[in-house]
Each structure stands twice: as structure tokens, then as C-alpha cells.
Amino acid sequence: MEFGLSEEQVMLQDALARFLSGTGGLERTRAFAAGKDRRAPEVLQGLAELGVTGLIIPEVHGGVGLSLLDAALAAEQLGRFVAPAPFAATAVMAPLALIKAGDAGQQATWLPRLASGAVVAGVALSEITGARDGAGVEARDGRLYGRAQFVVDYESDLYIVADRARGLYLVAADAPGLTRTDFRTIDATRPTGELVLDGVAAEPLKADDSAAALRAMIDAGRVMLAADTLGAAQEMLDHAVAYAKGRVQFGRPIASFQAVKHMCAEMAAALEPCRSLVWYAGHALDHLPEEASLMACHAKAHLSEVGTFVARTATEVHGGMGFTDLVGLHYWFKRIGFNRQVLGGPQAVRAEAAALQGLAA
Amino acid sequence: MEFGLSEEQVMLQDALARFLSGTGGLERTRAFAAGKDRRAPEVLQGLAELGVTGLIIPEVHGGVGLSLLDAALAAEQLGRFVAPAPFAATAVMAPLALIKAGDAGQQATWLPRLASGAVVAGVALSEITGARDGAGVEARDGRLYGRAQFVVDYESDLYIVADRARGLYLVAADAPGLTRTDFRTIDATRPTGELVLDGVAAEPLKADDSAAALRAMIDAGRVMLAADTLGAAQEMLDHAVAYAKGRVQFGRPIASFQAVKHMCAEMAAALEPCRSLVWYAGHALDHLPEEASLMACHAKAHLSEVGTFVARTATEVHGGMGFTDLVGLHYWFKRIGFNRQVLGGPQAVRAEAAALQGLAA
Amino acid sequence: MDLSYSPEYEAFRAEVRGFLEANRSRAPGHGGNGLTWQKLLIESGYAARTIPREYGGFGGEPDILKSRIIAEEFARAQLSPGLGGQGISMLVPTLLEVGSEDQKRQFIGPTLRGEMLWCQGYSEPNAGSDLAALATKGVLEGDHWVINGQKIWTSTAHLADWIFCLVRTEPDAPKHEGISFLLFDMKTPGIEIRPLVDMTGAANFNEVFFTDVRVPAHQIVGRRGEGWKVANAILRHERGSLADPNVMQSRLNALIDLMKAETLDGNRVIDNPVYRDRLMTIQGRVQALRCNDLRLLSAAVNRQSAPLAGMVVKLQGTELRHELEGFAIDVLGELGLLYGDTPRLRGGGSWQRDYMYFLGLIIGGGTSQIQKNIIAERGLDMPREPKLAKA
Amino acid sequence: MDLSYSPEYEAFRAEVRGFLEANRSRAPGHGGNGLTWQKLLIESGYAARTIPREYGGFGGEPDILKSRIIAEEFARAQLSPGLGGQGISMLVPTLLEVGSEDQKRQFIGPTLRGEMLWCQGYSEPNAGSDLAALATKGVLEGDHWVINGQKIWTSTAHLADWIFCLVRTEPDAPKHEGISFLLFDMKTPGIEIRPLVDMTGAANFNEVFFTDVRVPAHQIVGRRGEGWKVANAILRHERGSLADPNVMQSRLNALIDLMKAETLDGNRVIDNPVYRDRLMTIQGRVQALRCNDLRLLSAAVNRQSAPLAGMVVKLQGTELRHELEGFAIDVLGELGLLYGDTPRLRGGGSWQRDYMYFLGLIIGGGTSQIQKNIIAERGLDMPREPKLAKA
């Protein structure tokens, strides 16, 4: 019985942390946010070299064949370093879709390219977790029509699109009839946007039960976002504690004021159990099928709430500095804000958690 | 333009405070809670002499003819001193029912006796604000059948009972067919219980629109409970501040620890605007008919939330002492808990507030 | 308790309304120019109302209710209530109270007319909550102060003509007694302004650096070492204005409209009971603050005292507003993330902007922690932070 | 990550289950007697498992997983896991660590067998959060300590045979170094016990008054002045146990059953989306604490360290439990107010009782304020409260 990380998992975290801080950390993120490029190819390349892009892809398809818990640990580091890199869709949800619902040919075609980072895949299923503005996609005669908003890892070469009937389809980014509209959000590190599909030829994933594959994608995606928030929130807390120790007001470090200490203690008290929740939810995705969806909902919703609290409180501990761009704290703040809404806001996810237990009316 | 209390209103508060502390304050409450009597006649008598029982009853009927805001100020003092006295029903809701829905004969019979305190009237309409256990009352052929729970000012000589059709009826406490079942609740200062009506002969209040009278009773009752909570919560805060100043730990008054100061500041910050809200809601009952119900809902719900926060936090400031019976702080804690649930809990009342604005589905 | 206005005030309200109807076309945004509009407002007694004529104001009697009526009617008509800014709201009252006759004549008029824009030089990187720790130095050399140091959070520094500035001129005096209140031209050599981008993406503030900035000795308000006293009286005015509950009420109404307009899976958001409950919770709190505001107004009019009611406004107001805006983002879900120049943006991005901006206001103008200290110490008479033993 | 148990442990679990099935009729509440049940449990290795045989225990090797399995299986079978109380949970580990050989032989066996009940004399009216300020005096006169003073929060004082007690024996030593840890008989002359009624209406605690209580000099554990050290090592054990997340989970399940059973206006409460949302929020937090508990168990088994995860349990657990119980009261509405011997009572009044009791636990065993100090200082390495200047 062991509920904790293996040596290999700790090494994976460390390697990723070294790479992401080595690649420029906050400065790389700033440059990305300020620039016009919507991809950071060298970051993706580095992740591919570390095996992150192929983390959950079986070795026969050129991946590393690790677990979804390992993927959550990677997501945590990406959040910690506010990395401008695609991950939840291209490295987790899309491979899962292919593994669970693709046929041998589809798997052989796409999984090696995803593993190597040669192809980046976005996932368009926000309408399944909650359709806004009447968006949604319909399949007719092998072609897709409609609109898909807030594509995860939108800057991609390939999309996996879910239609209203919960079927899954592969769509090339340059497919005729596909129009892309870029969005700008508060989170400059993860570009998103909308696909308009006007009779786009699409290749279905041919699983018997694509709804189950879709469910697995959503569960895993939610755990990845929760893990991303965990990393970002922990980093904000660490920053806040360090800042409070160094900042002198009224002749003493503000870390010696009980009010500041208690703000930090409240953040730590709320956040520390979240780490175990994310581990458990990540583990459940692979190993506890009857709990996986429920724990994914709880991880997503609870981390959203705790993340929001930490984001605000850590900013307050920084005083005016936290509000400026100078310390860049807002990149984490916004990343946590982004994770909160994507793939279902906390209230929607909690409603789903209730339904999963047969508690809904 | 004046949003504040008149000299007369301040005098009313002071007189009531003098009487209630003179009548024994907490010690009287303790004795009442410990004893078997479910009425405290000398307290009622004192209130009658101060005009509190007849506060809103017109002078022609032997009352003082003051406003519902004045009644709210009285309720605040009763909460402040956790007084073991009937009020919301006998001094406010029942007189309102008679004034708005009674005929001249009913008014002439009952209002003078209510004003003098010779008769105490309870109100049985909890099923209108939310029926539990399938309770509820039906009228057939001038007789009442059914069950009414959580009667406000239950230890009474006369009841005003609402049936499911929102009609109002007068029922004598000793009417044949009426069975009373005493309840014990956390709040020993305000006995409550249940009426079982098995074909009880009841005299209807004959207004054209008894639903409007019922609405006015509920609105006013809610504001009285909110005011009661205001007084109780303010007293708890005052106790907490005083205790913190006197209690020495680690060689200094705990009031000098920033954490304790901030707990008290948070209580004050939450509570102080509540005072104005209760004033406004009380004023609206008489003078702003289009706002009265909504503001009553907001006062009830918001004071319940703030009251719960203050009750908990003030207890925490007292440390272990707050948990004991020694300082008796729990009488206020429980009174606030009682006010929270009676005539609709916060969530139910907020749902009503939304409906009043046409926002419900 | 009487929420009605007397006939005199109702007449005054009618007068204001008449003015606004007659002059709508002269207002900025409706064809008019900001400076001439300001001039018209001063002449008509709707701006600079209580400032003496000899200093460029209207010269009216102070009347809180009339000021309130003016504010209400301009808001109702959605016309500009004239110029604001730290010169008019903070410097002018300061000068009226403690400025020399020359200073009043020189500065108040042009400031009121919008001909002279001011910025405020108080905070420094190491003097935030502990403002009295400020370190910008002013040394008297001959008949000039020579100023070196840095200010931060200086809004409108890049637009301002002049600055009113706290400078440490008596390095040997106790912390609070070594500061002077100086006025100087922002075109003086040695001033460098760097915009300070904040989390909303805007540069609402600046850093200002002083290198051997030479300021004529007479440009001091009050005496040497009195700067803390001069500044502190005025700081209090700033705090309440950060959280106007009437603005909050408009914002709440906009939120209700949003919830009626937006849908999730084809259902109106307002029809979601969980969101409705959260909305009503917020509405109840907004109502409490509105009533509290009414109480403060009444207390001011009737010269009564409600100190605690005033002290809680900034803390409660900024936190509630931040929460309200955050709730609107939840209502919008992913659409609430949109920000900047982007398709499908709602409300011009104002929900996200104000969510962040009000977090800034929770911090600025005295953080929530400082506010709680004030409430505990001044409102509840609890002990001040005890003095520490020497390390 | 491996949540399964090895075959050795699965076999052990089967063994425990077998025992429980075979001996159900000997358990208290099922026909058996508490003291003989305790004896059986010790002999079988299900109580006092790791305590050496020579002191009356089972003499097994420490094995956290086996302890956990025992706890889980007794809970599953709803049979008493044997005697608890402060003697067994606090005094016995203390004696094992620092007691003399004589003390171990004299006290541990009878305590384990339930023949000797203990109470704890730590807190005093003026020594709560600041326990080291305790003032109960012990003066050595000849071969006896003479004790005068008062203790508070002494649970089971009215039932206890003996007390383990902190007493100031070295008045001139620094605060933490002047305390000794004494054991004495509660029948000693000069002891007065007054029940302390709490807000739940029960007398779960007592005040205990000492007037010239004479205690043989050798009944001291550790040396003179070492009492603080002796007591403190043990205090930590108490804190985590106040907020067992597995108990919280059962309570949550009971709450869900309640929401399915109760109706408002004829609708099941569970069908109210606002309440359902609040339930799910609480469930998510309970899950987080359960996972945290799993991590702590694993860390203990595998000798890893997760200090912060341990430090937050008491704070988070007691506050969440208080909130959970309060939510249940809201679910019940007016029915939630019922308490004591009354018609229509739900759950035996446990929702109200635990709502209050857990407020007591938020305060007791180190208030939430003290917990936050600990988390900040020991968990986040922030500075301790600075020393004050002499007034």
C-alpha cells in the first residue's frame, strides 16, 4: 500500500521543472504573451524530448506509456511555470480518444506524430460540458456542421471534435469548410478560439462506444486542469510566503504580522489536501473506473474554488506589487481563472457529480 | 430627509434595555431555561407596562399606535437581552392580522387585550413559508383540520392560523378538538410546538384579501426576527471585544493579537451595515409597500448569514469559555440559530426574493 | 425616519433636471467640450459648488443633500458631472484648509477649470501600508528643495501638469514629523515617468523617479515637517469613494440583465436556481451597503455620528464588488474568460477588468488588512499593534 | 501509487474479520461486558497491540497498516474497538517513553485493562492557548508535593481513579522549565470536582480544584521541571484524532440519507439544486481530506514525511465538520432546531449537538488561531510572534 509518488515520478517532476525554468520560466511566458506568435515551438520541442507529449501514448506508438497520474504531475509543473504549451488536449485527451475509440489505422497514423510533437491536436467538446451561444456541432452524411467554441489546445494541426450525438471525429486544421476564429482571453499562455464547420469532411473514430471515450477524455481533461491549478496555486503561495519574508513595513518583515501569517496558513491549509485529491483523481482515471468520473468532478470543482481563493489571497499578500505586471503574479492568477471555466465551471461540474451519484432530480 | 432614529425611538430602546437588564437579564433567561414554566409572566407584564405589547396597536384599541420600525427596535432589544418573552407573533403579526383582516368586532374584542398583555396570541403559518412532514391546515365547513408546526409565540391563549388557501382564522387555545404538543428546541427562550386541529371550530378573519394580510404578517415577522438577530449578534460582538480586552494570554491581552482584532473587525464590518438594512426594512413595512416584501426577505436572509458568522466567531474569540455555560454566550448563539430557521431559512427566503422580482423560472 | 426630501430640495432637484435638459447638447459626449462644460457647471453651481468665488468656485453654502441631488440627477441623465481627479478631489480641499492665500489664488482656480492637472506623489516602493516610511529626500539648497527618490502608484503622472508630493525634508526628526508637502511642475528637469502596467493590462499607474529635481522653496504647503498631517486629513476622503454602493447597484442590475440574456445548454442562466441563490445573496449584501450609505448621508446632513458605518465601507464595498464581478464571470463560463479585442466579448470585457481592478482596490487605498486594523483600533477601541522589543 | 494491500495484509484482514464474526456475542452492546471484551482484545492483539507483554500489552511489532485494518474492520462490524480515553491514548505512551520502570509496571497494565481510569490536568482558566502559563502550584514538603490550584476542561474527572497533571513546582525557573508532570489518586483529600456544563447542555468537562492535596514525591514522571517536555510530545497525538475524515465520510452519508428522506412543501430536499450544490461542495472537501488522510497513512507506513499534510488536519477537519453539521440543520429547517427529549426530533438531535460540539473542537486542542500560527511558523517557516518591548 503506497499513496505517494514513486522515485520515477519525482524525477519526472524535477526534469520538467528544470526544463521549464531553464527555458526561461516567467520571461518566456512574458515574451509569448507580448508577441504575436500563438505557438512556442521550442517549448513544445523540449517537452517532446522529455517525453511529455507522448507520456500516455503506448510505447508501440512511440510514446512513453505512462499513466494518467504521471500526466497530472506533468500538468502540475506546466501550471507551476505558466508554460505557454499545449498539453491537456494534445498530450492527454486526444491520445485517449485515439486509444479508446480509434481503429488500428487511426492509432498508427496519429499516435506516433502526437508522441513526437510533430502534430499538435486540439479538442473541441466544450459544447458537451455546457453549450453557450447556441454553439454545437452536428454530423450529417459524414460531414460536420456547426460551431465549436473554446477549443482546448486550439493552436493545432488536428482537431478531435465531438458532435451533439457524442460521436468523435478527426478534422484537419486545414480542412476545406473549416473556419477558425481566434479568441483572446485573460490567459495569454493558452490560446483558444472557435471552429466554424460548414460541411467539413470528417473521419469518425469508430469505437463501439464513443460516448465512453468522450467521458474518459472529459474526466482526464478535468484532472489535468485541476493539476495545472494545483501547480499554479502552490507557486503563488510560495511566492507570497517568500515576498512576505522579504518585504519590510513598519520596521519588520510583513511575514511577522499575524494577519499575513494567517492568510498564508489559510492558503496552505486549503491547498495541501488538494495535492492528495489530485493524486487520487489521477490514479482513479486508470485504476478505479467506478470512481474516476466522480473524483474528476470533485478535483476540478474543488481545485477551482481553492485556486480562486489562493489566487486572490496570494495577490493580496503581495500588496500593490501583486496587482502590477512587475512581479508577473497575474499570469498565475489568470491561468487559475482559465482552468476554472474550461470543461465546465465549478457549479456545472458539481451538478454532474450529483448526477453521477444518482442524486439529481 | 432623515435616515436614523428619532429621539423617541432612542428613548424606547433605552427604556426597554433598562427594563430587560433590570428584570435580571441573562440570569432571568437562565432561570427560565432551567425551570419548568413556559411563560415568564412578570417579563410580559413589564413589557405591557412599557407599551411593547401594544406598540403597533392603534390608540383607539388601547395600544400605542407606533410603527413597525419601532417594533423592530423593540425586537432588537429583546434579542440583545435574550428575553424570554413572546413578541413577534403576539405584538406584531397577530395585531397586524386583526388590523388588516379583522372586522370591527374582532378588532374590538382582541386588540385591547393584546395591547394590555391580558391575552397572548400565537401565529401558526409556518406551513405557508415551507411545510415539513406534510403538515398543513385545511378549512372545511368552518372547521379546521390538520397540523401546524413551529407556532410562533406558541405559549398563547389565542392562535391565528393560516390554512392552505391562505385564509386566516382565530382559534382559542382551549378550543375543543385542538391538541397541543410542546417542542423543545435549542432556544429555551422561546417555546414552540405543534397544533393538531381535528375539526376545531374557528372564526375566520373576514378581510377581502386575507392573502395580503398574510403577506404583511410574514414580512413583518421576518423583519422582527432579523432585528432580534441584529440585537443578539451585536451583543455577542460587544461581549467578544470586552472579553478579548480582559483576557491575558502570552503576557498580553488577546485583544492585542492581530488575528483576534481582525476577527472582531470582520464581525463589525459585516454587522454594521445590517443595522441600516433592518431600519430600512422596518421603515419599508409601513411606508414603501412596493419594496416591503423584498426588503423583508433580504433582511431575514442576510441577517441570518451574518448572525451565524458572528455567533460562531464571537464564540471563538471567547476560546473555551465561549463553549461553556459559564458565560452563557450560547443563549445568544442559539437565539440566532432559531431566528435563522423560523419563517423560512435563508435559502428559501432568497428564492422568494427572486420570485418577487420576477426572476424565478 | 423620513426618506422624503423637503419642498426646497424637490425644487432644487427640478432645477437641476431643467438645467440638464436644456444643456444636454453642451455636455461632452453629446457635442460639447469638457472644459467649457466644466466652466458652465461651476457657473451654475453644479461643480466646485462650495468653493469660494475668489478662488474660482461657485461660492455656495455646503449642503450635503444638494450635492447628493446633483450627483443623482447627473447620473440619471447620464451626463458628465464635470471634472474629477486627484487635483480637484484631494489637493483643492487641502489647499483650502492649510494653503497660503497665494497658493489658493494661484492653484485652485486653474485646477477647478481643468487647466491644471495634478498627480499625487505619496506611495513609494518601500512605503505602502507604512506610508510614513517614505524615503524620497528633499534637501534645502539656497532657495530650492533638491529632490531625489522614487514614487509609485502615481496615476495620471504622464498627463499631469503638476504634482503634490510628500518628501522627507527632516531626516533627523521622528518618522511622522520629518515629511513636507511640496507642489511642483512635472516639467521640472530630473523627473522621469515610467508607466506601470497592472494585471488588467492597462497602465493606470506610473512610477516616477526624481533626480536632483529643483523646487522653489516657497512651494511648500504648511510648514516643514507638517506634511504627514496635511496629507492625512485628506486621505480619508479617498477611501469611501472607492466603493460607491449606488454604482454597485447599477452593476448588479447589469448582472441581472446578463443572466437573463445568457444561456447555457439553451436555458437562461437566470433560471438556474444555484446562480439565482448566489445572485440574491449578493443583492442582499448590496442592499445592506446601500442602506448603510443612506445612514451615512443622513448622519452627515443631520450632523450625527456613525463612525463605524463609515469605516466599513471601503472593506465591505471593494470585497463585495470583486465578488460580484467574479460571479458574473462564472455566469458567463468560458465566455467570461474573453478579454481585449476579441469576438464574442461580453460587456466590453468589463467583468474581467473590474474583477481584477477591484482586487487592486481591495489592496490600494489601505489594504483590507489595514482597514481591519482601523476598524478594530478606532471602531472597537482595541489595542494598537504593541511595540516590539529591540532585536 | 498502489492502493491495494499485500497478501500478508489481506490475510490479516481476514483474520480480524474471522475474530469479529466468532466473538460478536462477547462484545459490549451484544451481550458482552466491556472489561472482559477489552481483555480478549488485548490477548488477541487487537488492543494495546504494540505495548510490551511485561506491561500488560500484546507485545506486537508496530505496524501502521495492521492498526488501520483493525480500526477499519471493527468500524465495519460496528463493534467496540476496546477502551479508549486519555489514560490509554495519552498517559500510556508517555509512561512508555519517559516513565520509570516502577511506574510502567504499576500503571500501564491496570490502565490498559480498564481497571484504572485517568483524567488529564493540563488547562487552567488562565492557561488555555498559553498552556505554559499554568499556575497550579506544587511545593515539596518533606516527601510530599502539596498542590494548590485549579484545572479546567478535565473530561471524565468525575469518573477517573487517577489524574496526570501539570503542576508548577519551580516558581523561579523560566515559564516552560518550571513545570512537573505528576500522577495522583483522585480520592486524595482536597480535590473538588465541579461539572462544567457546555453549550450542548452536557457536562462533558469539569473544573477541578486542589486545596493542599498531598502527593507522594515519587509520583513524578521525568524529573522536576521537565513536565512541559513530557506533556508536549504527547499533545500532538491528540490533535489529528479530533477530525477523522472517515468519520466525516459516514456523517456525510447520513446527511445524504437525510436529504433523501426529508421534504419541503412535498419535495425531497435532495431535489433542491441549491442544497445539492452545497452538498457537493462539502463532499468535494471531505474527499480532499480523505485523500490527505490516505497520504498521511502512506507516509507513516513508508517512513516518508508530509508535515504540512499533518498540520492542516485539525484546522480543516473541525471547521468542515462544523459546517457539515450546520448544513444539515439548514436542510432540516425548523425541524433542525429541535433538541433534547422532544417529538419530531431527527437523528437524536445529533446534528445540533455536533454542530456545537465541533465548534468546541475548533476551539479546543489548540484553537484555529493557534493552528494557523503553527502552520505558518512550522509549515511555512514564517517568523514567530516577535517579542514585545517591556510596557
Complex ipTM, two decimals? 0.96
B145 beta partners: B138, B198
Query: What residues in chain A have their Cβ under 8 A from chain B's Cβ atoms?
Result: 257-259, 262
Average pLDDT over residues B301-309: 98
Contacts of D211 (CB under 8 A, 6+ apart): D148, D190, D192
CB nearest A264 (choices: D256, D297, D376)? D376
Taking the alpha carbons of B71, B77, B79, B85 in that order, is the dihedral positive or negative? negative
Query: Is the confidence at residue B317, as pLDDT, over 60?
Result: yes
User: Cβ contact (<8 Å) for A261 and D276?
Assistant: no
Q: Give the pLDDT confidence score for residue A114 in this predicted structure.
A: 98
D132/A284 Cα distance (integer angstroms): 46
User: Under 8 Å CB-to-CB from D13, ≥6 apart: which residues?
Assistant: D5, D69, D73
Among the partner residues A126, A186, A323, nearest to C352 by beta-carbon distance: A186
* CA B313-B316-B317 angle, 5° bins: 90
Take residue A333 and report the three cell numbers written for it. 492568477
Distance CA B302, CA D208 (A): 42
Say yes or no for a CB contact (<8 Å) between A319 and C262: no
Tell me if C165 sits within 8 A of C182, measured CB to CB.
yes
In this prediction, residues D340-364 reach a mean pLDDT of 96
Strand partners, D221: D181
Q: Which residues contact A36 (CB under 8 A, 6 or more apart)?
A: none
Chain-wide mean pLDDT for chain B? Answer: 96
Domains of chain C: 7-83 (1.10.540.10), 118-230 (2.40.110.10), 242-379 (1.20.140.10)
Task: Please tell me the distance in Å from A42's CA to the nearest CA on chain D.
Answer: 32
Helices (H), ranges, B126-257: 126-129, 210-246
- B262 contact residues in A (CB cutoff 8 A): 259, 262
E strand map for chain B: 121-124, 136-140, 143-148, 158-162, 168-172, 178-183, 192-201, 203-204, 248-249, 252-253
Would an 8 Å CB–CB cutoff place D274 in contact with chain C?
yes
Q: Residue for cell digits 384579501?
A: B209
The DSSP 8-state label assigned to residue A59 in this structure reads: G
Nearest chain A alpha carbon to B257: A258
How is residue D199 written as a grid cell? 453549550
What pLDDT is recorded for position D333? 97
8 Å CB contact of C333 and A130 = yes
Burial C263-293 (b: 16+ CB within 10 A, else e): ebeeeebbebbbbbbbbbbbbbbbbbbbbbb
Higher pLDDT, C78 or A62: A62
What pLDDT sits at residue C241? Answer: 63
Residues 75-134 of chain B with CB under 8 A from chain D are 126, 130-134
Half-sphere exposure of D205 toward its Cβ, with a 13 Å CA cutoff?
25
- CA-CA distance, C267 to A84, in Å (whole number)? 35
CA dist B314 and B312 (Å) reads 6
For residues D363-370, average pLDDT? 89
User: What's the pLDDT tens digit per position in A310-356?
Assistant: 999 999 999 999 999 999 999 999 999 999 999 999 999 999 999 99
Of residues B23 and A136, more confidently modeled: A136
pLDDT for B112 beyond 60: yes
Say how many C-beta atoms besides its own lie within 10 A of residue D233's C-beta: 12
Percent over 70 (pLDDT), chain B: 100
- pLDDT-based confidence at residue A360 (cuts at 50, 70, 90): confident
Sort C141 into a burial class: Cβ within 10 Å, 0-12 / 13-18 / 19+: exposed
CB D93 within 8 A of CB D237: yes
Which among D129, D343, D369 has CB closest to B181? D343
Q: Is A156 helix (H, G, I), strand (E, B) or coil?
A: coil
Classified as helix, coil or strand, C223 is: coil
pLDDT at B207 over 80: no
Contact list in C for residue D272 (CB cut-off 8 A) is 273
Q: At what angle do helices A210-246 and A68-80 cross, to 10 degrees?
A: 40
pLDDT (average), residues B135-146? 96
Residues 6 or more apart whose Cβ sits within 8 Å of residue B74: B12, B16, B52, B55, B87, B91
Candidates C277, C273, C279, C274; CA nearest to C254 is C279
The answer to whether C1 contacts B3, with C-beta atoms less than 8 Å apart, is yes
User: How much is the average pLDDT of A130-144?
Assistant: 95
Higher pLDDT pick, A265 / D391: A265
Does the CB of B30 have a partner CB in chain D at under 8 Å? Answer: no
Is A301 in the D-facing interface, judged by CB distances under 8 Å?
Answer: yes
The residue of chain D with its CA nearest to that of A280 is D291
Q: What is the DSSP letter of A209?
A: T
- Quick one: CA torsion of D309, D314, D315, D321, rounded to 10 degrees? 120
How far apart are the C-alpha atoms of C210 and C242, rounded to whole Å? Answer: 29
The pLDDT of residue A359 is: 96
Query: Lowest mean pLDDT: which of B12-21, B253-262, C240-249, C277-286?
Result: C240-249
pLDDT at B245: 98
Kindly determine whether residue C371 and residue B302, on different chains, have CB atoms separated by under 8 Å.
no
Q: Is residue A95 left, alpha or beta, with left meaning phi > 0 and alpha meaning psi from -120 to 50?
A: alpha
D385 contacts A256? CB cut-off 8 A? yes
Residues C38, B292: Cα–Cα separation, whole Å: 41
Task: Give the CA distances from residue A211 to residues A68, A95, A290, C132, C155, in Å, rounded to whole numbers and listed in that order.
Answer: 19, 16, 16, 64, 54
Is B361–C271 a contact, with Cβ atoms under 8 angstroms apart? Answer: yes
| A230, pLDDT greater than 60 | yes
pLDDT digits (tens, 9 = 90+) for A95-125: 999 999 999 999 999 999 999 999 999 999 9
Contacts of C334 in chain A (CB under 8 A): 126, 132, 149-150, 341-342
D115 is catalytic: no
Q: What is the pLDDT of residue A175?
A: 97
Q: What is the pTM of this model?
A: 0.96
**Chain mean pLDDT for chain A:** 96
**Mean pLDDT, range A135-163, rounded to an integer:** 97
3-state SS string over B133-152? CCCEEEEECCEEEEEECCCE
User: Given this model, what pLDDT does residue C246 score?
Assistant: 81
| Cα–Cα distance measured from residue C160 to residue C149, given in angstroms and rounded to the nearest whole number | 19
Chain A residues whose CB is inside 8 A of the B257 CB are 258
Share of chain D above pLDDT 70, in %: 97
Sheet holding B121-124, edge to edge: B121-124, B158-162, B168-172, B203-204
pLDDT of residue C235: 67
**Residue-level pLDDT at D287:** 97
| Chain A residues closer than 8 Å to D256 by CB | 359
Q: CB contact, 8 Å: C273 with chain D?
A: yes
Render each residue's pLDDT in chain C as its tens digit; 391 residues: 899 999 999 999 999 999 999 999 999 999 999 999 999 999 999 999 999 999 999 999 989 899 999 988 998 898 999 998 889 989 999 999 999 999 999 999 999 999 999 999 999 999 988 999 999 999 999 999 999 999 999 999 999 999 999 999 999 999 999 999 999 999 999 999 999 999 999 998 999 999 999 999 999 999 999 999 998 877 655 555 667 888 899 999 999 999 999 999 999 999 999 999 999 999 999 999 999 999 999 998 888 889 999 999 999 999 999 999 999 999 999 999 999 999 999 999 999 999 999 999 999 878 999 999 999 999 999 999 898 887 6
Residue A280 near chain D (CB below 8 Å): yes
Give the per-residue pLDDT at C240: 52
Residue of C nearest to D386 (CA): C388
**Which residue, among B30, B129, B186, would best test binding to D if mutated, counting the most D CBs under 10 Å from its CB?**
B186
Q: Which of D273, D274, D388 sits opposite C387 (nearest CB)?
A: D388
Confidence grade of residue B254 (pLDDT, cut at 50, 70, 90): very high
Residue D236, pLDDT above cutoff 70: no
Position A68 pLDDT exceeds 60: yes
3-state SS of D307-321?
HHHHHCHHHHHHHHH
pLDDT of residue B23: 83
What domains sit in chain A, N to C, each tagged with a CATH number? Answer: 7-116 (1.10.540.10), 121-207 (2.40.110.10), 211-356 (1.20.140.10)
User: Is the per-residue pLDDT at B344 higher than 60?
Assistant: yes
Grid cell listed for D225: 521541571
Residue D221 · residue D183 · CB < 8 Å: yes
Instruction: Return the axis-axis angle of helices A210-246 and A289-317, rounded to nearest 10°.
Output: 30
Task: Name which of A14, A16, A29, A13 is nearest A82 in CA terms.
Answer: A29
pLDDT in tens, D130-147: 999 999 999 999 999 999
